[in-house]
């Protein structure tokens, strides 16, 4: 890997070669991520299909495996419509903001103990800060659509995302307390040690179970997925904030939604499920080794959960969503932070 960087720097000079190398790394992250998104959409259609006792997409390619690309082609060849009297610049920038924020987070997400694009000190804070910027895309899309439906959808989405961000932030505070670092790699490393070190029992999800639960449920609300998808509640406001979008700009919204789902799953697996650590003890040899495959497996399990909730739960009423965020999750996390603090300084602490 480093030899490629050195060759590039040798050929193009230090700065330019370095920039080109980083650009190549970005492509190496974004392209597999996009293909993963394509197959998450396909998996969603198939899983939902089987849960509804039907077959799902099975026409394009063997077993329907080329379906996501057929969808993409259809999006690309559709006409881009612009509503009248809209603020055109904002209208076209909004989906780009959402997608850029969704992808930017992946700059600091580690794939295993050594592979990470940018190993910054405060990577957890970076993820939270950047994903909070994604709201702008939604609110601007809702506003610039120049339609009552899309505006209502945008307003709903924003209020919901701001509310659940708080509960999510407090859940992260718990993780920070036990790992003592804002760096995602360090957080995973902290889970491999401790009193119960080295296996599934030492991961954060057992001592921090309330935070894990709050994080995953808030994650569903944060990505505006069912059962919290009131901002695109099609029975009330057609399709929410992206009513007025068509063609590729609509596809960007879809892409961003699924990238966000993967991000939330990856964050939950890194912070609570031990990331790339193996659930088995080190002495078991091959299956006990830490590897990227474990991270991928955990992400896939959590993504399956996302799809499962969609097939299972009916949509929440809007005031109930707000109540769940402010009156249930926020007090639970606040109280558990105090409990955790007391636990950590008591002789019973398992993190010393």
Minimum distance from residue 182 beta carbon to another protein (Å): 6
CB of 294 to another protein, least distance (A): 28
| Rounded Cα distance, 314 and 270, in Å | 29
Least separation in angstroms between residue 136's CB and another protein is 7
What's the token pair of residue 86? 């809209």
What letter does residue 283 receive in the DSSP assignment? G
Q: Which residues contact 149 (CB under 8 A, 6 or more apart)?
A: 237, 238, 239, 240, 243
Residue 161 or 261: the one with the smaller Cβ distance to another protein is: 161
Pair 124, 184: CB distance under 8 Å: yes
- Backbone phi and psi for residue 161, each to the nearest 5 degrees, phi listed first: -70, -40
Q: Would you say 160 or 204 has its CB closer to another protein?
A: 160
Nearer to another protein, 128 or 200 (CB): 128
Task: For the CB of residue 329, give the shortest distance to another protein in the complex, in Å.
Answer: 14
Which residue number, 182 or 270, has a Cβ lying nearer to another protein? 182
Question: In sequence order, what E strands does 155-201 have?
Answer: none
How far apart CA 294 and CA 276 sit, in angstroms, is 5
Rounded to a whole number of angstroms, the minimum distance from the CB of residue 55 to another protein is: 36
Q: Which is nearer to another protein, 43 or 166 (CB)?
A: 166
| Exposure string over 75-106, b if 16+ CB within 10 A, otherwise e | beeeeeeeeeebeeeebebbbebbbbbbbbbb
Instruction: Please state, in angstroms and rounded to a whole number, the distance separating the CA atoms of residues 335 and 142.
Output: 36
| Residues shown for the chain | 352
CA dihedral 286, 289, 293, 295 (to 10 degrees): 150
- The Cα–Cα gap between 336 and 181 comes to 19
d(CA 301, CA 293): 12
Residue 182 vs 188, nearer CB to another protein: 182
Q: Smallest distance, Å, CB 338 to another protein?
A: 16
In sign, the C-alpha dihedral spanning 248, 249, 251, 255 is: positive
C-beta of 319: minimal distance to another protein in Å?
A: 6
Q: Kindly state the smallest distance separating residue 3's Cβ from another protein, in Å.
A: 23
User: Which of 94/307 has CB closer to another protein?
Assistant: 94
Q: Which is nearer to another protein, 144 or 191 (CB)?
A: 144
Residue 111 and residue 133: Cα distance in Å, rounded? Answer: 23
What is the token pair recorded at 90?
């904002």
* Burial bucket for residue 311 (CB in 10 Å: 0-12, 13-18, 19+): middle
In the bound state with another protein, the residue whose beta carbon lies nearer, of 267 and 277, is: 267
- Closest distance to another protein from the beta carbon of 143 (Å): 5
Binding footprint of another protein on the chain (CB under 8 A)? 15, 87, 90, 120-122, 125-126, 128-130, 132-133, 135-136, 139-140, 143, 151, 155, 158, 162, 165, 182, 319-320, 323
């Amino acid at each position: 890997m480093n030899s490629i960087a050195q060759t590039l720097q040798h050929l193009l000079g230090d700065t330019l070669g370095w920039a080109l190398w980083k650009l190549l790394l970005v492509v190496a992250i974004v392209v597999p991520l996009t293909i993963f998104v394509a197959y998450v959409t396909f998996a969603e259609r198939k899983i939902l299909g089987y849960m509804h006792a039907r077959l799902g997409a099975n026409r394009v390619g063997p077993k329907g495996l080329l379906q996501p690309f057929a969808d993409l082609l259809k999006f690309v060849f559709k006409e881009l419509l612009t509503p009248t009297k809209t603020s055109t610049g904002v209208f076209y920038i909004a989906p780009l903001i959402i997608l850029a924020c969704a992808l930017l987070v992946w700059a600091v997400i580690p794939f295993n103990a050594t592979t990470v694009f940018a190993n910054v000190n405060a990577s957890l804070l970076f993820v939270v800060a950047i994903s909070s910027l994604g709201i702008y895309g939604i609110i601007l899309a809702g506003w610039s659509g120049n339609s009552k439906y899309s505006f209502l959808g945008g307003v709903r989405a924003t209020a919901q995302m701001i509310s659940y961000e708080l509960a999510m932030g407090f859940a992260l505070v718990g993780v920070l307390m036990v790992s003592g670092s804002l760096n995602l790699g360090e957080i995973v490393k902290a889970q491999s040690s401790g009193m119960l070190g080295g296996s599934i029992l030492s991961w954060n999800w057992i001592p921090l179970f309330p935070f894990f639960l709050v994080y995953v449920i808030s994650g569903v609300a944060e990505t505006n997925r069912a059962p919290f998808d009131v901002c695109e509640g099609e029975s009330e406001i057609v399709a929410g904030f992206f009513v007025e979008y068509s063609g590729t700009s609509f596809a960007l919204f879809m892409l961003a939604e699924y990238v966000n789902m993967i991000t939330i799953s990856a964050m939950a697996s890194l912070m609570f499920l031990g990331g790339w650590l193996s659930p088995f003890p080190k002495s078991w040899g091959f299956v006990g080794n830490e590897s990227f495959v474990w991270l991928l497996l955990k992400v896939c399990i959590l993504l399956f959960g996302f799809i499962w909730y969609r097939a299972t739960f009916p949509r929440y009423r809007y005031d109930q969503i707000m109540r769940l965020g402010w009156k249930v999750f926020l007090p639970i996390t606040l109280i558990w932070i105090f409990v955790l603090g007391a636990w950590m300084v008591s002789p019973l602490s398992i993190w010393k």
